[in-house]
Structure 1
Amino acid sequence: MAAVTSIKLDDELKGRVQNLAAARRRTSHWIMREAIEQYVAREEKHEALRQDTVKAWEEFQATGLRATADEVEKWLSSWGSENELPTPVCHE
């Protein structure tokens, strides 16, 4: 069973949601739920990337291992070619 949650919108935003709902032939509830779902999915991806970045930074600080920008750029530039390069090896 879905939990009931209320949200307070100012009149201007409420009108915009209602206008969009009418144009899309959806309910205002559907528009708001879709918007929240997309926002949460986007923010979850953003948070996962942030956590991966922090983890990578901490690993670099602990080991000093890295690949240079030039090494990564050469590798990425080779993607899809006959001479695709292997992933760069991290080094000090």
Structure 2
Amino acid sequence: GASAAIYTARKGIRTGVVAERFGGQVLDTMSIENFISVKATEGPKLAASLEEHVKDYDIDVMNLQRAKRLEKKDLFELELENGAVLKSKTV
């Protein structure tokens, strides 16, 4: 999610990330040794680094949010558990 958000933001596309917890499974991984340009790191450190990198761009981060429903109409509609509905051309 973070990589995709950064690349789309660099292209000038309005971008958002919805996450129950930013970093996802990476937060539960203690040893990462297969990430390009990083010899070895821990998941929480990598997640924190990605989050800091995302902050360098105009990206809407909706942390601590969980998707309830995704429906394709003219636009995609993503309903969050808190009742908010996000609309987008792509997901």
Indicate the TM-score class for this superposition, using the shorter chain for normalisation.
under 0.3
Higher helix share goes to which structure? 1
Larger Rg, first or second structure (1 or 2): 1
TM (normalized to structure 2)?
0.27
Higher strand share goes to which structure? 2
Pick 1 or 2: higher relative contact order, CA cutoff 8 A, min separation 6: 2
TM (normalized to structure 1)?
0.27
